[in-house]
Structure 1
Amino acid sequence: MLTPVKVALLSDCYLPRLGGIEVQVHDLARNLQKAGHEVVAFTATREPGQRRNELEIIDGIPVHRLAIPMPHGLPINPLAPPTLRRLLRAGGFDVAHVHMGVVAPFSMDCARVALDLDLPTAVTWHSLHARMEGPIRLVGYVARWAKSGAALSAVSGVAAQSVSSLAGVQHKVAILPNGIDTTQWAPLPRPPRGAGEPMRVVSAMRLMGRKRPLELLDIVHEARRQAPEADIRLEVLGEGPLRPKVDARAAELGGDEWFTAPGRMTRTQVQERYRLSDIYIAPAELEAFGIAALEARTTGLPVVAPRKSGVSEFIEHRVNGMLTGDDAGMADALARLATDHSLRVAMTAHNTEVLPRESWPSVVRMVETEYVRAIDQLR
């Protein structure tokens, strides 16, 4: 058990932007605070109308917004390091925890500044490097941070492999999963399933290429061909730049009969859609973790996903979902689950009765262990 410490959480993205890293970092801040730690967040994400560096309080968490106006509200501020250095030096922090995406210029500056100040530093990657791994290796900052004593981690084993390759195998890369509020996402009573009702498949994603919404339509179309008696229906929750192409592809496939996309939804609305669904599908291959899939699994839904994605951290094949090697395998798995009542019911029962190990109290203990490692590595 780590004695209470003062933590600087540093991330390009933070509320009010809504996305995986933004929400995770804020939820981590609140749960660290609940565990007795003092937490201050730093971000380059602007509030609407913000014109200069600002300090605000969100849910009891002080948030320094070291932001400047940028096109499309991009969280980039090359002028932030001097102010950040002053705030970290004067803040009496025991540890800095930097949260990285694939391209995260503010977070990169944060790691460099914190290490230059000899502040114990933990760095967690929330994304897969994929095609960026070569350029990142060439620049060499991951290896430099490791040599400087940073405690490196990633949100899944899949993501950790890439970080380890960049840092050097002699440096430990811990797995620090995203956390979930198991009470907030607890299973809700499901309506009884009547004979002949369609099989409701749901997915929540931003409609962008990396999430593979177009491929998802093809997968479900093939599953419907394999199991016409199941009358598989697909609902995709979320918005994004590929919306016109998604609508066009759905029309090509006759999706008017089986596809709906109601757009962005609140957390409460998402929970209600999960309650009315039978299966969750997560088609993204470059998924470092997959928090939406974990939320769906926690509510009780069986999950279909690629074996190579971070979803494999919390889905065990044929126990609480199906993991597959390719899109054809996903279509096969979806058709199988849609028609195998006993298998589907067993998976739903498992997910309803067995809590995921990524509950926030458990994740906070893992985070505290990383903070101890960061402190020890700079002694």
Structure 2
Amino acid sequence: MRITHVTDVFLPRLGGIELQVDDLSSRQLHSGHQPTVLTTTAPGADTADAVPVRRLGHGTAGIGPYRVVREPLLLRALRADRPDVVHAHISAFSPLAWTLTRLAAADGIPTVVTVHSMWHDIVPLVRRYARRYGAASWPVTWTAVSTAAAAAVQDALDGAPVAVLPNGIDPAAWLAPPAPRTGAAPTLISVLRMVRRKRPAALLDLLLVMRTVRPGGFRAVLVGDGPLLPGLRRRVAAAGAEADIVLAGALDRPAIRALLAAADLYVAPARHESFGIAALEARSAGLPVVARAGSGIADFIRDGTEGWLVHSDDDLRGTVESLLDDPARLTAVARHNRAVAPGVSWGTVLAAADALYDTAAHRQCRLPVHCRGQFVSPRNPSISYTL
């Protein structure tokens, strides 16, 4: 199957969507599909993509990875790939993905949209856009990466059905033998981008307060880069807390695996986490996870089983402190997490994506009961899809 993934942001820019689209398309390539990525993100100096990447908008106006590309050029680029299905990946701001979703659906190409962000704070804005262009009535299969994210998308689309297509992961790749414990204080870890919506400053506030009431009672490692990192490091230095709170910056996956194997508890402070891939990686490594209830993390963390779900920053602090005082609870959940793999894996995600592609093809056919054999696009006969 020829699959065109449409994403405004892509490698070498680093982020959740960029890595997830790269992983998904690479695994689809290895499973026998023919994926292509369509993006406006410029290549890096040493870019070497395993999956073909078509990068549009070079030399045009734009901000960051976003570029202004006229619709006729977008449609020509899309038709040049002759995709059997378009899979568009949308965040809070994705002009390329929104436009190509509309063009692909109107051109008769089976189209799946996956929303990777929590829209709760921007539902009115997205609803106005969706109503203006009639997005809820497009022949598109809508999905989001978690139950919580899907609820906001459905709200923005005035009740249109929205399925869940979670992010993929290889749980076994994260399950390493636990590092030997030396009797030192327990280690808390969080892997997050140092941007406002991930709330690293709120997490640091919590850690600094805890450090004053239980000096030497824990060690914390925060992994990730972003514009807030320099200021956070200055705060740690001003508090003289460098020995207890480590801001490690960006690390590669092997280094993160090693840190997870040596940690005791994973903390996810974001209120509106659409999925929480780093939390799932930590849970796959055997770590108990403390996260916010109502976020995407609640799809794979059950309160009291794989970790704990909290409702406020005060609740977060109280839960973490109670766990530091009762290490047996941490040990019990860690034992469960190491023994029972999460239900989300690349195998289940790839199978779900294939099923959604079939659903999108049937929707374009508009005859789901009688449509069988070879689907031919009513708008573009050069596009066909075997049902």
Instruction: Compute the TM-score of the two structures, normalised by the length of structure 2.
Output: 0.88
Deviation string 1:71-97 (CA, Å, 9 cap, x unpaired) is: 897222222532331132243311100
Distance 1:143 1:156 in 2: 25
Out of 135-144 and 7-16, give the one that drifted further.
135-144
Deviation string 1:183-232 (CA, Å, 9 cap, x unpaired) is: 322x211233233x111001111111111111101222344466x38711
CA RMSD of aligned residues (A): 2.2
**Are the counterparts in 1 of residues 42 and 65 from structure 2 also a CA contact under 8 Å?**
yes
* CA 70–232 in structure 1, closer or farther in 2 if over 3 Å, else same: farther
Decide which of 22, 30, 37 is 1:41's aligned counterpart: 37
* Alignment coverage as a number of residue pairs: 365
The residue number in structure 2 matching 1:342 is: 328
Residues 1:296 and 2:286 aligned together: no
* CA 359–142 in structure 1, closer or farther in 2 if over 3 Å, else same: farther
Deviation string 1:246-281 (CA, Å, 9 cap, x unpaired) is: 124334555234211121111111111111111111
Unaligned stretches of 5+ in structure 2?
A: 366-387
Distance 1:352 1:108 in 2: 40
Deviation string 1:112-162 (CA, Å, 9 cap, x unpaired) is: 221121111100000012332222212226972330211000001111011
Unaligned stretches of 5+ in structure 1?
A: 51-55
Written as runs of structure 1 = structure 2, the 5 A alignment for 1:24-103 is 24-48=20-44, 58-59=49-50, 61-69=51-59, 74-103=64-93
Residues 1:243 and 2:233 aligned together: no
Distance 2:62 2:200 in 1: 23
Decide which of 173, 180, 184 is 1:192's aligned counterpart: 180
Distance 2:155 2:194 in 1: 30
**Are the counterparts in 2 of residues 66 and 80 from structure 1 also a CA contact under 8 Å?**
no
Secondary structure in 1 matching 2:352: helix
Secondary structure in 1 matching 2:163: strand
Secondary structure in 1 matching 2:117: coil
Distance 2:181 2:133 in 1: 54
Deviation string 1:267-298 (CA, Å, 9 cap, x unpaired) is: 11111111111111110112101111111111
Residues 1:208 and 2:199 aligned together: no
Distance 2:338 2:208 in 1: 29
Residues 1:157 and 2:153 aligned together: no
Shift of 1:57: 6.3
The residue number in structure 2 matching 1:53 is: none
* CA 70–247 in structure 1, closer or farther in 2 if over 3 Å, else same: farther
Distance 2:2 2:65 in 1: 25
Decide which of 216, 221, 227 is 2:208's aligned counterpart: 221
* CA 72–200 in structure 1, closer or farther in 2 if over 3 Å, else same: farther
Written as runs of structure 1 = structure 2, the 5 A alignment for 1:325-340 is 325-340=311-326
Secondary structure in 2 matching 1:68: coil
